[in-house]
Amino acid sequence: MKLTQEIINQAMQAFGAGEFSRVISTLSPVYEQHPMAKMVYATALGKVAEFTTSFEIFESLQSDYPQNTDVAYNYGLLLKEAERFDDAQKQLLKAIAINPNYHVAFHALGNLMSELGRYEEAQLAYEKAVAKNPKNIQYGQSLSKCLYQQEKWSQLVAHIKREGLHLSDKLSAELYTEACYRIHSRGELAKQSNMLSSTYSDSYSIHYFLALSALESKRYVHAKRHLEKSLSLADSSDKEELLTYLDYVSWLLNATKDNLDVLNRKFENTDNIQLLELAFNINENRRELAEAEKLLGKIQLIQAEGDKEQHELKRSLLAFAKGEFEEGLRINEHFLVKQPKSLPHLYQKIRTLEKLKRFSDAEEVIRFIAHNVNNLHSSKFADLSSGVMLNGFDVSPSPIVNTSSNSTNILFIVGFPRSGTTLIESLLLKNANVELLEETDAVETFYNQMVEREIVDPETGDIKRTNQSELDALANDYLEHLTAYSPSVDSNKLIVDKMPLNFPYLPAMLTLFPNAKVLCCLRNPKAVALSCLQFEEINLYTVEQFAEAYNKVFTCWEKMEPILRDRAISIKYEDVVADPESSIASIYQFSGLTEGETKTLESNSSPLFQTPSYYQVSQPVYKSSMQKYENYPTLFSECPPLLDEWEQKWGY
């Protein structure tokens, strides 16, 4: 029987259909007549696990055609199926050595390494496959999945964006959305939200992580919308979690005791670990410590033995909140023996040591963090060494000449983090004429949108538009933008927008809102430095790093003051602590606020209580706490000149 093109076509058609037995029967009488037929026949034998005969034929082919990439490649694939992984790797590397541009072999090698759990090697192979053939979506997906397996979230986002995979490939879009959420890239997801949700309207994963990201950004209205969409796509096993999150959003949007009670009933009846952890965090922040302890006990009963250690930080937090500092330290140190580079535990240790007045030990931990920052672990930041993000602080604004006619009253509260912005907010909280926004990125995202639309000059921070009707429209756009965060913002009240590092955006916002004013919170720079070094807040680990960031922020403020003129004042944290009544009176006078009637708060159910800063300022504040940095003389023994200059400038 003679091998003909028709026989080859029949065999290839059967091979493409996965009918390997038919391939074998078709080629069996004739496969030895041509090397291509021989390779197809041997490959089909391997596909039905007749490895011995298959490998004998491949060895013969390789002897006859030692430089044939297809032989080495297909032989390698079958060796992998036979679980002869080392031999498979050798054959794939041989194919690559023969032809360094043989991208399918790189991809196959990546698959092999990934299957063996050797993800670093898999990543290298996939990267080469993508580089050789960047238009192959499968290669891009494989690299994405490999990065996902390694939890290399930043690299995953960069890869998917670079190749544009999230624009047309659902799997890539799902991985991209989750990765952005994992590294808290909230601005990125906010920009892509409409595209992702409309392009992949049937993706549960995308809407779920968009919802969680919107929650983190305090865009509660958007979070609710994405949760409702997720609910419509969810399996029954996921619906309890989503319904509880919806109740959580309802409470955040309308913080009544009734809404909190509904949420707590959901928590009481769940065994979902993620929901129980949310319940713990809410109760611990609200200082409902007995309930938090009960929830933690439930979590530990449900979880496997190996997972319980991760909750030692929660146990330490509870002990700290109850004033049991020695016990909290013991729990924390027990964890750090096994995982000495866990950043949240290290910061908790610093705070506990300070409560025990073991200041030199606390300073030692601060220095340990600074020296080991590249090797520490944190879920809050993708790049711990990047420092505080101070984009746009080099703006050089011009005097404000043209404004809108919008009459909305807004008080922007700014300052370096840990400088008393939350203290000021707490003093304004009970005034019925005040509409308090939570700390949100509302101003930043709106400003960045204006930059992208070329409405704002990023070099100066000035709005380019001078026509009043255009400025009026932009002001209305911003108020509409706010409804994503809170649908009930009352523009007839004084809107208080506290976001410490919003300095660069102030000239633009005061152009849109001519009645808006700015309150800048000041505090002894050394006290601020110590506070920043004690909290996992903004990636500052040394006094020197802090001094550079502080200088950049307040150099920007110095450029703002002549532009803002009588629309801005500064207030010192120490003065507020010493005489809160006079301080609040001066703030009322500055902002045109009347004392008005007192707002009734339902216990401490408000979400504004959900931050450590708020809890701190709601407690009695003693003057001695303002000079805590004096307990760390060696930390400030060689104080950077920049810090001394600002300390003198502020009159400390």
The DSSP secondary structure of 225-242, one letter per residue, reads: HHHHHHHHH--HHHHHHH
Q: Tell me how far CA of residue 244 lies from CA of 27, 251, 257, 266, in angstroms.
A: 62, 11, 16, 6
Are the folds of 5-215 and 258-379 the same?
yes
Mean pLDDT, to the nearest integer, of 143-155? 95
Which tokens hold the place of 228?
């409702």
Compute the distance between CA of residue 144 and CA of residue 150 in angstroms, rounded to an integer: 10
Which tokens hold the place of 265?
């009933």
The amino acid occupying position 138 is Q
Q: Tell me how far CA of residue 649 lies from CA of 205, 438, 633, 642, in angstroms.
A: 52, 31, 21, 11
pLDDT digits (tens, 9 = 90+) for 169-227: 999 999 999 999 998 888 889 889 999 999 999 999 999 999 999 998 889 999 999 99
Which tokens hold the place of 494?
């004084």
Q: What are phi and psi of 124, to 5 degrees?
A: -60, -40
pLDDT digits (tens, 9 = 90+) for 543-560: 999 999 999 999 999 999
3-state secondary structure of 487: coil
Contact between 54 and 78 (Cβ < 8 Å): yes
pLDDT of residue 306: 55
pLDDT of residue 382: 53
Between 594 and 645, residue with greater pLDDT: 645
Sign, CA dihedral 212-217-221-222, equals: negative
Element (H, E) at 600: none
Compute the distance between CA of residue 606 and CA of residue 601 in angstroms, rounded to an integer: 8
pLDDT digits (tens, 9 = 90+) for 607-642: 544 444 444 444 444 355 568 899 999 999 888 999
Which tokens hold the place of 281?
């965090």
Q: Rounded to two decimals, what is the model's pTM?
A: 0.81
pLDDT of residue 538: 66
pLDDT digits (tens, 9 = 90+) for 380-437: 555 555 455 677 899 999 999 999 999 999 999 999 999 999 889 888 888 888 988 8
Mean pLDDT score across all residues of the chain: 90
pLDDT of residue 97: 97
pLDDT digits (tens, 9 = 90+) for 559-587: 999 999 999 999 999 999 999 999 999 99
Mean pLDDT, to the nearest integer, of 144-153? 96
Compute the distance between CA of residue 525 and CA of residue 366 in angstroms, rounded to an integer: 17
At the fourth CATH level, which superfamily is domain 5-215? Tetratricopeptide repeat domain (1.25.40.10)
* pLDDT beyond 90 at 604: no
Compute the distance between CA of residue 423 and CA of residue 608 in angstroms, rounded to an integer: 12
Compute the distance between CA of residue 542 and CA of residue 367 in angstroms, rounded to an integer: 8
* DSSP annotation of 435: E
pLDDT digits (tens, 9 = 90+) for 299-334: 988 876 556 666 888 999 999 999 999 999 999 999
Contact between 492 and 593 (Cβ < 8 Å): no
Helical segments of 164-235, H only: 170-182, 186-199, 204-216, 220-233
pLDDT of residue 612: 42
pLDDT of residue 622: 39
Q: What are the residues whose beta carbons fall under 8 Å from the beta carbon of 246, sequence distance 6 or more? A: 224, 227, 228, 231
CATH assignment of 258-379? 1.25.40.10
Domain boundaries, the chain: 5-215, 258-379, 410-649
CATH assignment of 410-649? 3.40.50.300
pLDDT digits (tens, 9 = 90+) for 263-303: 999 999 999 999 999 999 999 988 999 999 999 999 988 87
Contact between 241 and 260 (Cβ < 8 Å): no
pLDDT of residue 390: 76
pLDDT digits (tens, 9 = 90+) for 72-89: 999 999 999 999 999 999
Mean pLDDT, to the nearest integer, of 490-515? 94
Compute the distance between CA of residue 299 and CA of residue 277 in angstroms, rounded to an integer: 8
Query: pLDDT-derived band of residue 490, with 50, 70 and 90 as boundaries?
Result: confident
Query: pLDDT-derived band of residue 539, with 50, 70 and 90 as boundaries?
Result: confident
pLDDT of residue 606: 53
How many percent of the chain have pLDDT more than 70?
Answer: 92
Q: What are phi and psi of 42, to 5 degrees?
A: -65, -40
pLDDT digits (tens, 9 = 90+) for 428-471: 888 888 988 878 899 999 999 999 999 999 999 999 999 999 99
pLDDT digits (tens, 9 = 90+) for 356-383: 999 999 999 999 999 988 777 666 555 5
